[in-house]
Amino acid sequence: MDGKTTLWRFGAAISLLVPAVCVFVWRDCLWPLVLFVLWTVAAAACWLAAERRVQRAKTERMLARAQRTAIETLSHHRHDWMNELQILYGYLRLQKLDKAVAIVDRIRERMDQDSRISRLGSAELASYVLSFRTMCDTMRLDVAVEDGFQWNKDEPRAEAFSQTVIGLINAFRYRSIASTGEQNVLSLRFKSGSGAFRIEVTYTGELAAEDSLAQEITKILDGRGSWTAEEAPDGSDEPAGTRRFALTFEAG
């Protein structure tokens, strides 16, 4: 709320003292009561006008922020696609068709994953995931959505599910420490089956305040699901210190 709007509201409220004093001084007359009513209506109109101005300014700021995020997201995706196309063009010129096919398969897989992310059942969650690179430079987010996974957007718990996943990502995002070595990576794999949705989480990299992470995850879930720590699969070549756990949500 800006100072001008606050001044308008304060002035509208204080101005009611004028007709109130008139009513007190000329208590036996009718005109002070009429003045008080009209003045109150005018003050209320000023107050509402100030409120609408605040809401309009807030909406404009949110829209501008959303537009900037969309532009930055498109810019990042354009940069990624241009890099892939340049590599593909180079392989084609060198007639290395096997490598060119591998690049095409990689592009197709990324497009397919982006499409699956957009069908997570929550526009807020899909937008957050797809634009994550514009918000965080200390951690890379990798998201994989298996075939058949889709949280019904009409499901009453869809919004809570979206907020839970975003809260989970933010728990790592705010703890990730920029490193000059290997990049911090948070990987989420969305799976479904046996009447439940499952999110497998893997984090590799540095974390600040790691001791409070388990407590925060429990708080984020807020009884909507459960989580368990997991061990790396046998024969895994994951870097030392990799954290693995899984979140489970009942379906339906």
pLDDT at 60 over 90: no
Q: Which of 140-144, 150-154, 161-165 has the lowest mean pLDDT?
A: 150-154
Query: Which among 62, 64, 59, 14 is positioned nearest to 40, based on CA atoms?
Result: 14
Would you say residue 35 lies in a domain? yes
Using CA atoms of 64, 70, 71, 77 in order, give the dihedral in degrees to the nearest 10: 170
In a domain, 79, yes or no: no
Amino acid present at 147: D
Task: For residue 26, tell me if it sits in a domain.
Answer: yes
Q: Do 161 and 252 lie in a common domain? A: yes
What is the residue-averaged pLDDT of the chain?
A: 80
Do 170 and 248 lie in a common domain? yes
The verdict on 135 and 228 lying in the same domain is yes
Rg of the chain, C-alpha, whole Å? 28
Considering the domain architecture, whether residues 26 and 128 belong to the same structural domain is answered as no
For the ranges 15-19, 40-44, 203-207, the lowest mean pLDDT is seen at: 15-19
pLDDT at residue 149 is higher than 90: no
Report which secondary-structure segment, H or E, holds 204: strand 196-204
Number of domains in the chain: 2
- The angle formed by the CA atoms of residues 221, 225 and 228, to the nearest 5 degrees, is 90
- The answer to whether residue 152 sits within a structural domain is yes
CA dihedral 157, 162, 163, 165 (to 10 degrees): 120
| Average pLDDT score over residue span 165-187 | 88
In a domain, 63, yes or no: no
b (16+ CB within 10 A) / e for 101-123: eebeeebeeeeeeeebbeebbbe
Q: Indicate the SS3 state at residue 189.
A: strand
pLDDT higher than 90, residue 169: yes
| Mean pLDDT confidence for 229-240 | 70
Residue 6 has pLDDT above 70, yes or no: no
- 199 burial via Cβ count (<10 Å: 0-12, 13-18, 19+): buried
**Strand 226-229 relative to strand 140-145: parallel, antiparallel, unpaired?**
unpaired
Sheet hosting strand 196-204, strand order edge to edge: 140-145, 185-193, 196-204, 243-250, 226-229
Q: Is residue 251 part of a domain?
A: yes
CATH of the domain at 252: 3.30.565.10
Residues 127 and 247 in one domain: yes
Q: Does the structure show a pLDDT above 70 at 83?
A: yes
For residue 71, being part of any structural domain is answered with: no
Same domain, 133 and 43: no
User: Do 51 and 139 fall into the same domain?
Assistant: no
44 falls within a domain:
yes
- Are 247 and 136 contained in the same domain? yes
Domain boundary residue among 13, 30, 56?
56
Residue 23's DSSP bridge partners are: none
Q: Is the same domain home to 150 and 252?
A: yes
Residues 50 and 137 in one domain: no
Regarding pTM above 0.75, the answer is: no
Burial class for 135, CB neighbours closer than 10 Å (0-12, 13-18, 19+): middle
Q: Do residues 135 and 247 share a domain?
A: yes
Domain hosting 44: range is 3-56
Same-domain pairing of 39 and 137: no
Contact status, residue 206 vs residue 163, Cβ threshold 8 Å: no
pLDDT band at 236 (very low <50, low <70, confident <90, very high): low
